[in-house]
Amino acid sequence: MWVIFQSAVAGYIHGNSIGQLIANHLPLGGLFFLTLLVLVINPLIQKTQVVTTFSEAELVIIWIMVSVASAVPGYGMMEFLFPILVAPLHNATDQNEWKSLLLPNIPDWAYISDIQAVQDFYAGESLVPWRTWAKPITFWLTISLSFSLIIIFWSVIIRRQWVERERYPFPLVQIPKIMVAQPEGKGQILNRLLRHRLFWLGLFVALLIHVLNGLHRYNPAIPHLRLSYSFNTWFPEKPWSALVQGWPLWGRIYLAVIGITYFLQLDVSFSLWFFFLFYKLQEVVFSAFSVRGVSTQQQVIGADIVLVVFLAWMSRRHLISVFRLAINPRESHQLPSEVIPHRSAVVGFLLSSLIFSILLVWVGMSPHVVILFSILLLSLASITCWMVANAGMLLVNVGLSPFSFFTTLFGSRSFSRKNLTLMAFDRSVHSHWSSESLMPYTMQSLRLLRETREYRSKLIFLMIFSLLIAIGTAFVSSLKFIYYQGASSLEGWVYNWFGRSGLEKAYVATQNPYGPSLSGILSAFLGGTWAAFLLFMRQRFLWWPFHPIGYIVGVTYAPHHLWFSTLLGWKCKILMLKCFGVGAYRRFQPLFLGLILGEYLMSAFWIFVGLFTKVGYWGLPH
């Protein structure tokens, strides 16, 4: 039921700027529901003894289904799909000549080609023209679903390498793991950590701060605690003004990020904030010496390429072993730790990839571009998941899109007009705004499942079932409320700017073809070289203090939002370890867990209040 509710209202909540019900890789709605089950529903059931309480295994499966479904209604799939499909006709004017120069590159059945349906989409107070939407939405949702299956089967294939061999920490998994743990003694309602006084102290602090800040939104006379600070006035003159340009320095305090950072390895948390400042200082140097040939943004391209090569090399023996098991009938049995046999995972991966490729060729993309496009999308998903698995990053931006990646390295002249235009549709396939990405949700679910053997054989079916329910619910409910309210009155950057921006880039690239970007290639080379050095030092020397993740994340929306809270969380852990020792660090873990849950609970509370008052509240990174 929660999957249906969450999928039905998430688009409405964000579209009306009330907040974000999914928000990030520790989904707000899912954690709120899990907390409700653990702290309210289970204790009530235990008191009344009408039915049995939810077991640990049942709570794990509920969390998995809700978290996987969280990839659908927001940034992960549905919210970007609607504006992309109406953008071609909506933004085509006599002045820009898109109708004659750009739209012929897209089959008219692949976007909303009925002008009345497009006008009603933005104007509102209309019924949904289901017949008009049927063909394009079916096509693109089939592509999205096939790529989602690729992600699920790929996650199963590499699970053992990442979870058991590399032993990635998956910090965000610890929160639901602690929540679902059963009480130790008979008759107890909550487990040891949830009964701890420091947990309730952290919860109370977070509740108090967000109660005051939420009430302040309704009555400015009520005092509040300011949780964001701009450094713009500190650096008015060049070259230091570069610090507050682009992705500027802001001090944003998120209690949940501070809490999660407390559980991270010190080299990881240090690198996350250090390399963001390192990038910003690069921009100061570039400004001081008028350097134009190197870009901090494009360094990420090279860093991502090196990371993918590194991950593939580290996984080579495991992948060879998996494919041997898949093709050898004598060794096709299921390993105890796997949710499905390797053969089933490989066959599912290959079939999903084939369907995905056929559909892209059908819409007009060249086969060789489809191969490159598919590899890049899978690489971006893997990079996102690697970041979440190692650093518990609530937000991730990989810093590039397929369109920018290919045109930077190869230029627009290397691609046909049709390929360039279709690559501008990349977010209709898979979002690279990776704060609600399916692969981290899936891998975290597989990691959490280690805690219980129950329902293991049904997991993939339950994931796919949850995805289908979420897709159907989000599609119908979101489209109905958009046609009722009108996209023009909704979140502007999603419904107006977003769908247009990719097509504008495609238009420029097709009308004024250009070659590879020499400055982009130089920047990518520098980024790749530096990332390779960091990875090498990390692998060879235990004393090396820098984790490559901080550099690979780059200077994007995610570290811009998270760096300051990460710095505070890192400092809390450093002080605790140096001043009081490891024992004190462990004793204070419940306090930081309370900060996380308290901020999540109050953010959800104010969002649900906002459903009735239309007053927004953005308590979490989103």
DSSP 85-113: HHHHHHT--TTTTHHHHTGGGS-GGGS--
Cβ density class 10-40: b for 16+ within 10 Å, e for less: bbbbbbbebbbbbbbbbbbbbbbbbbebbbe
Q: What is the pLDDT of residue 332?
A: 53
Cα–Cα distance for residue pair 243/373, rounded to 1 Å: 34
The answer, yes or no, to whether residue 80 has pLDDT greater than 90, is no
Question: What integer is the mean pLDDT of 35-46?
Answer: 87
Q: What is the pLDDT of residue 31?
A: 93
Q: How far is CA 568 from CA 167, 198, 253, 255, in A?
A: 26, 19, 8, 10
Whether cis (ω within 30° of 0) applies to the bond prior to 239 is yes
Comparing C-alpha atoms, which of 550, 168, 199 is closest to residue 396? 550
Question: What integer is the mean pLDDT of 258-272?
Answer: 95
Q: What is the pLDDT of residue 243?
A: 83
Cα–Cα distance for residue pair 113/94, rounded to 1 Å: 16
Cβ density class 371-395: b for 16+ within 10 Å, e for less: ebbbebbbbbbbbbbbbbbbbbbbb
Q: What is the pLDDT of residue 497?
A: 80
Q: How far is CA 266 from CA 270, 532, 535, in A?
A: 6, 21, 17
Q: What is the pLDDT of residue 248?
A: 81
Residue 265 neighbours by CB distance under 10 Å: 14
Q: What is the pLDDT of residue 239?
A: 86
The answer, yes or no, to whether residue 433 has pLDDT greater than 60, is no
Contact 109, 367 (CB under 8 A): no
CA atoms within 13 A on the CB side of 75: 21
- The two most distant CA atoms of the chain are separated, in Å, by 74
Instruction: Read off the DSSP letter of residue 544.
Output: -
Sorted by sequence, the CB contacts under 8 Å of residue 31 that are 6+ apart come out as 175, 176, 179, 597, 600
Q: How far is CA 389 from CA 53, 59, 168, 173, 498, in A?
A: 31, 21, 6, 9, 29
Confidence of residue 334 (pLDDT cuts 50, 70, 90): low
Cα–Cα distance for residue pair 424/340, rounded to 1 Å: 36
Q: How far is CA 172 from CA 177, 256, 598, in A?
A: 9, 11, 16
Q: What is the 3-state secondary structure (H, E, C) of 45-57?
A: HHHHCCCCCCCHH
Q: What is the pLDDT of residue 518?
A: 93
In tens, the pLDDT along 571-599 reads 999 999 999 999 999 999 999 999 999 99
Cα–Cα distance for residue pair 139/174, rounded to 1 Å: 38
Retrieve residue 228's tokens: 């964001």
Q: What is the pLDDT of residue 384?
A: 92
Q: What is the pLDDT of residue 353?
A: 97
Q: What is the mean pLDDT of the chain?
A: 89
Q: What is the pLDDT of residue 247?
A: 79
DSSP 223-260: -----EEE-GGG--STTGGGGGSSS--EEE--HHHHHH
Q: How far is CA 419 from CA 218, 340, 360, 363, 517, in A?
A: 49, 37, 10, 10, 19
Contact 429, 76 (CB under 8 A): no
The answer, yes or no, to whether residue 12 has pLDDT greater than 90, is no
In tens, the pLDDT along 366-383 reads 999 999 999 999 999 999
The answer, yes or no, to whether residue 97 has pLDDT greater than 90, is no
The answer, yes or no, to whether residue 432 has pLDDT greater than 70, is no
Q: Which of 117-131, 390-404, 466-480 has the lowest mean pLDDT?
A: 390-404
The answer, yes or no, to whether residue 91 has pLDDT greater than 80, is yes
Q: What is the pLDDT of residue 245?
A: 80
Q: What is the pLDDT of residue 434?
A: 63
Cα–Cα distance for residue pair 398/555, rounded to 1 Å: 10
Cα–Cα distance for residue pair 324/340, rounded to 1 Å: 16
Cα–Cα distance for residue pair 604/29, rounded to 1 Å: 7
**166 or 249: whose pLDDT is higher?**
166
Looking at the chain, the number of H-run helices and the number of E-run strands are: 29, 2
The answer, yes or no, to whether residue 119 has pLDDT greater than 70, is yes
Q: What is the pLDDT of residue 419?
A: 93
The answer, yes or no, to whether residue 395 has pLDDT greater than 60, is yes
Q: What is the pLDDT of residue 305?
A: 95
Q: What is the pLDDT of residue 336?
A: 63
For the packed helices 28-36 and 56-69, what is the interaxial angle rounded to 10 degrees? Answer: 160
The answer, yes or no, to whether residue 431 has pLDDT greater than 80, is no
Cα–Cα distance for residue pair 193/183, rounded to 1 Å: 9
Sorted by sequence, the CB contacts under 8 Å of residue 328 that are 6+ apart come out as none
Q: What is the pLDDT of residue 342?
A: 86
Q: What is the pLDDT of residue 187?
A: 67
In tens, the pLDDT along 550-577 reads 999 988 888 888 999 999 999 999 999 9
Q: What is the pLDDT of residue 326?
A: 83
Q: How far is CA 10 from CA 205, 226, 440, 482, 607, in A?
A: 27, 27, 19, 13, 10
In tens, the pLDDT along 134-163 reads 999 999 999 999 999 999 999 999 999 999
Retrieve residue 619's tokens: 């308590």
In tens, the pLDDT along 185-220 reads 776 777 888 888 999 999 999 999 999 999 999 999
Q: CA-based angle 9:14:15, to the nearest 5?
A: 95
Contact 69, 3 (CB under 8 A): yes
Comparing C-alpha atoms, which of 19, 24, 13, 151 is closest to residue 435? 24
Q: What is the pLDDT of residue 451?
A: 63
Report the first-to-last Cα separation within the chain, whole angstroms: 24
Q: What is the pLDDT of residue 359?
A: 96
In tens, the pLDDT along 166-184 reads 999 999 999 999 988 887 7
Q: What is the pLDDT of residue 20?
A: 83
